Structure 1
Amino acid sequence: MFASRTMRGVAIVGVIAAIAGAAFYFHETRNRHHLGKSASNHEYTKGVADNLAKVQRSGADELTLPETVIKRMGLTVAPVQTPTHAINLPGFQGVLALDNDRLSRVHARFGGEVVELGHSTDGSDPTLRVGEKVRRGDLLAVIWSTELGQKKSELVDALTKLKAEEQLRDRLKTLFKEGAGAGRSYRDAEKDVQSRLVEIASLDRSLRTWRVTDEDIAEIHAEATRVAKADELVETAMPSAEANDWAKVEVRAPMSGVILEKNVVVGDIVGTDTDLFKIGDLSQLAVWAHVYEEDLPLLESLPHPILWTVSLPSRQGTFPGMLEKVGAVIDPTQHTALVTGRVKNQSELLKIGQSVTVTVQLPPPEHELELPVTAVVEDGRQSVVFVQPASGELHFVRRPVHVVRRFRNTIYVRAAESGLQPGELIVTAGALMLQNAIDQLPDPTASTKTIAGSPTSPSSDSRGPG
């Protein structure tokens, strides 16, 4: 029994010893891991510090780097260039509309009944319909106007009476000269002729005011002559309307274009204020675009005419046009102004109401320099570039620039205010790292500055002017 107890005690002691040994092993392993990691962090920090120590800040805006650091940072330089090509401004959103200067509302010159409609130009349809093309002078409709027929008949009646009154005056004049007639009768006949001439002139002016053509007026005079020659009675001088279409008024297209509206059918009674048709010339459309107010000064400074191109999301290619006017009102909600212009549509692929994107092209700007976006470092306060005074030098100088406009890959700066000259070398890759180096290194010129007679600590100006 004692021996068995002894054996159980030895087994328990062995298990405890094994657990203790394992715990000691894991503890030592963890310690060695932490020591290795700390050593690695220390080496990394030491490497960064060594690289930073190799970079010298030789002035408030100057850095000198070893060649090995330049290669490791991947710095590249390129010469400053002046713009040589046109610049496309960011697109404006707009919509196509009908050009009101190319829209004609067709009215009848006389009220009456529509007795006939024009036919399609290709003969495919007996009557004109919306969407069909017409040429200037094409017949659109025929209206029977009682008013015009009466005016024409009044002129024929007056001309016929004038002929009879002139004949009577001439006979009385002959009798008066022969002493066989009274002078008073001759003078009365002369007055009647003069009164009739005044009446005819008034009727003639009325017809011309109604824009009756010279050919129609000449036909009225010819009809009066025929009546007089036939020696017909004045009461029967009015011609047959069915015979010569005396009261018909033709309505013809005032311009070439497309029928946008048709508001009449045969049998309608129309007035002079009725829009019988609306014809639009779609070879050129109006463009209404909205421009943000911060872009307006640039647009207004451009020389006229201002050319632009119009593109559609649903169709490839662009269409040329011209900006004509900048609106005088700013939308208080969108902070945009309405600009209007035109776009050519000779192929009639563009449709009224379509959404478009309008792009204005600027000529190569004078007194500006073109820089890649990667060359300019901006922190919200100023924009800077790093200049390499000479090719191959390890010295770089930070220089502030005045940005005029920004694009996705290019930035334009004003040459006079930036101090850059075409051909100067600037850093195009790695400029941000140079800016960070200046931020981290103390300014050597800060030790010479004093405030209230005391030297200023370098840490008080650690960021420099950047």
Structure 2
Amino acid sequence: MSNSMMDVTTKHATSSPPNKVDDKPVESPPQGRSRGVFGRTARLVLSSLGPTLVLIGFAAVFYYGHHHDWRIPKFAALTGPVETSVDDWCEEHAVPESICVECDPTLMPKGPDYGWCADHGVHNCTLDHPDVSQLKEPPSQKELVADLQRAVRAFEIAPRKENNSSCGIYKTRIQFASIEAVQQAGVDVELVERQSIVESIFGNGEIVYDPTRLASLASRVPGSVWSVSKNIGDPVSEGEVLAVIDAVEVGDLKTMLLRSLAEEKLQRQNVARLSQAGKSGAIAGSRILDAEAALAKAHADVLSAEQSLINLGLPVDVDRLRELSEKQVLNELRMLGIPESLRNQINLETATTNLLPILSPMNGIVVQRSVTPGEVVNPSRILFQVADTQQMWLQLSVPLENMDQLEVGQQIRFTPDGSRRVVEGKLDWVSTSVDKETRMVGVRAILANTDGKLRNETFGMGEIILREESDAIVIPTGSSHWEGCCQVVFVRDKNYFDSPDSYKVFHVRSVRLGAINGDVTEVLSGVLPGEVIATAGSDVLKAQLLKNNLGAGCDCVAE
């Protein structure tokens, strides 16, 4: 290129107006630098687009789960057209809303509502209104009358836990969607039945000897033991000799009686002689009077000695002794009180007159002996105890709160510790005081012991029978629930199995409970035999009941 051309070109280039921004010249960026800015911008857009798409995906999943009850769609729904379904689930009662009998009572109309029964303390009382029961056939009138009488007896004997009359929870029904739903919830059922029931008061007790048939024997005067005839466990009869005591005081009394008899005999003869002589006037009347006074004194001495011997348990026939010689009287007094069986062992010539027999006052058994021959004894020491064990006492301690339920004549059953034998008796005494330490009331019963198997100081558990019923209405223990103000059970609807489409409903029923006998509990009112109630798993129904009435309390009235 020529120099002229280069100059023109240069000139033309330099003569063009410069690029301006705000009247300032701007340099055009080079071509390589422009491509770098565009790349960074594209990468920035792509990096921010990823999290945005993730958030949009999460939102879509949440929206689908919320509107499809968080169920995974079936493969056909994902690959083909899906029809839009209406939400048919009752969250409150956990069943499809289209079959919810609580939300739509017209599906299963409720029966008559008789309200509160003041006599039996339940709502919709089945005893007064058996038509409310879930039975295909109502009970007979005879059965209802017997159940009513049984309830009256139970209410008279003891107070029962009361329900709240204002509670309307009995109007509630617990529904399941299907039989399978009931099984999955673990709910089991049992029939309300009839069974014998016993209501009792229990108390710890002890068998002891009947104190009115227990004799503690001692020597009535000091002395030494001459002989012992009986040992522990020996049966004895009334009047039988247990031991013989050699007591000097006894010998003195016998001697006194012997002298008194001799003096009385002498004075009687003297009075007779003087009286005969007085008839002729040879004897002064004063001497006769003195003789009669001496005779009276001798007679009094005889009576005194006789009474002293009787007080020692030595009865003496004074009239008979008056007819005997002094030798015979002495032999008779020496063996006074000694039975014939023992007299054969005694030498009358050498035997002492000090012998005092200890006799059994009753038929029984020697239960204690604390004496041996030769021992010195006195009236303060017990030598023998004799008990009539044909009859024993049972002493029980019962709580003070059961005091009003006790009556003389009630039957008592006693089970000794370590034994399966049950002993029966009758309550015959209730203490008028309360133990100041234990606050228990003492009661007593008489026990027959004809076989002799009961033992003194045997501990065990006593049961005072308040009431026995042979055909009581019972349910399994634990199948009823206290829901806050009422004791309730869940009764299965009588049409539960009528058809596959029948409503799977349990009715809430308030009940009054009676005695508990192990695995069964008596129901005084609220259900009838033949009804079916929830047992195992009934806590599930209680939970649903509390959920349905949450916050309502006892004032809730289910519509």
Q: With structure 1 as the length reference, what TM-score do the two structures score?
A: 0.67
User: Are 1:114 and 2:225 an aligned pair?
Assistant: yes
Q: Does the Cα contact within 8 Å between 1:371 and 1:411 map onto a contact in 2? A: yes
1:46-78 C-alpha deviation (Å, 9 max, x unpaired):
999695234432585232747834883466464
Q: 1:42 to 1:107 in 2, by over 3 A?
A: farther
Match of 2:148 in 1: none
In the aligned structure 2, how far is the partner of 1:221 from the partner of 1:317? Answer: 61
Q: Does the Cα contact within 8 Å between 1:80 and 1:421 map onto a contact in 2? A: no
Structure 1 residue 302 displacement after superposition: 4.5
In the aligned structure 1, how far is the partner of 2:176 from the partner of 2:212? Answer: 70
In the aligned structure 2, how far is the partner of 1:406 from the partner of 1:238? Answer: 71
**1:7-406 mapped onto 2 (5 Å cutoff):** 42=71, 52-53=95-96, 54-57=99-102, 58=105, 61-63=171-173, 65=175, 68-69=178-179, 72-73=182-183, 76=189, 78=191, 85-87=196-198, 89=200, 91-118=202-229, 128-215=230-317, 217=318, 220-222=321-323, 225-227=324-326, 243=349, 246-294=353-401, 296-297=402-403, 300-327=404-431, 328-330=433-435, 336-364=440-468, 370-379=474-483, 381-387=485-491, 394=503, 396-406=506-516
Q: 1:40 to 1:293 in 2, by over 3 A?
A: farther
In the aligned structure 2, how far is the partner of 1:240 from the partner of 1:359? Answer: 56
In the aligned structure 1, how far is the partner of 2:364 from the partner of 2:450? Answer: 12
Q: 1:108 to 1:86 in 2, by over 3 A?
A: farther
In the aligned structure 1, how far is the partner of 2:328 from the partner of 2:421? Answer: 70
Q: Which amino acid aligns with 1:227?
A: E
Q: What SS does structure 2 have at the residue aligned with 1:170?
A: helix
Q: Does the Cα contact within 8 Å between 1:96 and 1:285 map onto a contact in 2? A: yes
Q: Does the Cα contact within 8 Å between 1:291 and 1:338 map onto a contact in 2? A: yes
Q: Does the Cα contact within 8 Å between 2:239 and 2:360 map onto a contact in 1? A: yes
Higher helix share: 1
Q: What SS does structure 2 have at the residue aligned with 1:140?
A: strand
1:117-138 C-alpha deviation (Å, 9 max, x unpaired):
11xxxxxxxxx33344333332
In the aligned structure 1, how far is the partner of 2:322 from the partner of 2:198? Answer: 68
Structure 1 residue 190 displacement after superposition: 2.7
Structure 1 residue 374 displacement after superposition: 4.9
In the aligned structure 1, how far is the partner of 2:90 from the partner of 2:241? Answer: 89
Q: Does the Cα contact within 8 Å between 1:372 and 1:428 map onto a contact in 2? A: no
In the aligned structure 2, how far is the partner of 1:351 from the partner of 1:325? Answer: 21
In the aligned structure 1, how far is the partner of 2:213 from the partner of 2:333? Answer: 41
Q: Which amino acid aligns with 1:154?
A: M
Q: 1:113 to 1:91 in 2, by over 3 A?
A: same
In the aligned structure 2, how far is the partner of 1:213 from the partner of 1:179? Answer: 44
Q: 1:179 to 1:280 in 2, by over 3 A?
A: closer
Q: Which amino acid aligns with 2:95?
A: L
Q: Does the Cα contact within 8 Å between 2:371 and 2:383 map onto a contact in 1? A: yes
Q: What SS does structure 2 have at the residue aligned with 1:349?
A: coil
Q: 1:362 to 1:85 in 2, by over 3 A?
A: farther
Q: What SS does structure 2 have at the residue aligned with 1:178?
A: coil
User: Are 1:461 and 2:530 an aligned pair?
Assistant: no
Q: 1:219 to 1:106 in 2, by over 3 A?
A: farther
How many pairs does the alignment contain? 387
In the aligned structure 1, how far is the partner of 2:332 from the partner of 2:449? Answer: 52
Which of 408, 427, 431 aligns to 2:518? It is 408
Q: 1:405 to 1:186 in 2, by over 3 A?
A: closer
In the aligned structure 1, how far is the partner of 2:300 from the partner of 2:277? Answer: 26
Structure 1 residue 465 displacement after superposition: 6.7
Structure 1 residue 87 displacement after superposition: 0.3
Root mean square deviation, CA, Å? 4.4
Q: Does the Cα contact within 8 Å between 2:198 and 2:517 map onto a contact in 1? A: no
Percent identity between the aligned chains? 17
Q: 1:214 to 1:56 in 2, by over 3 A?
A: farther
Structure 1 residue 115 displacement after superposition: 0.9
User: Are 1:427 and 2:528 an aligned pair?
Assistant: no
Q: With structure 2 as the length reference, what TM-score do the two structures score?
A: 0.57
Q: What SS does structure 1 have at the residue aligned with 2:421?
A: strand
In the aligned structure 2, how far is the partner of 1:460 from the partner of 1:192? Answer: 108
In the aligned structure 2, how far is the partner of 1:363 from the partner of 1:86? Answer: 8
Q: Which amino acid aligns with 2:101?
A: Q
In the aligned structure 2, how far is the partner of 1:249 from the partner of 1:380? Answer: 78
Structure 1 residue 104 displacement after superposition: 0.9
Q: Does the Cα contact within 8 Å between 2:242 and 2:360 map onto a contact in 1? A: yes
Q: 1:390 to 1:40 in 2, by over 3 A?
A: closer
1:377-401 C-alpha deviation (Å, 9 max, x unpaired):
2245431123568666856542323
Q: What SS does structure 1 have at the residue aligned with 2:95?
A: helix
Match of 1:3 in 2: none
Moved more, 130-139 or 360-369: 360-369
Q: What SS does structure 2 have at the residue aligned with 1:52?
A: coil
Q: Does the Cα contact within 8 Å between 2:204 and 2:396 map onto a contact in 1? A: yes
Q: Which amino acid aligns with 1:255?
A: M
In the aligned structure 2, how far is the partner of 1:251 from the partner of 1:204? Answer: 18
1:210-260 C-alpha deviation (Å, 9 max, x unpaired):
443144x456434xx313999xxxxx9998895375332111112233333
Any gaps of 5 or more consecutive residues in structure 2?
1-61, 73-87, 111-168, 336-347
Q: Which amino acid aligns with 1:356?
A: G
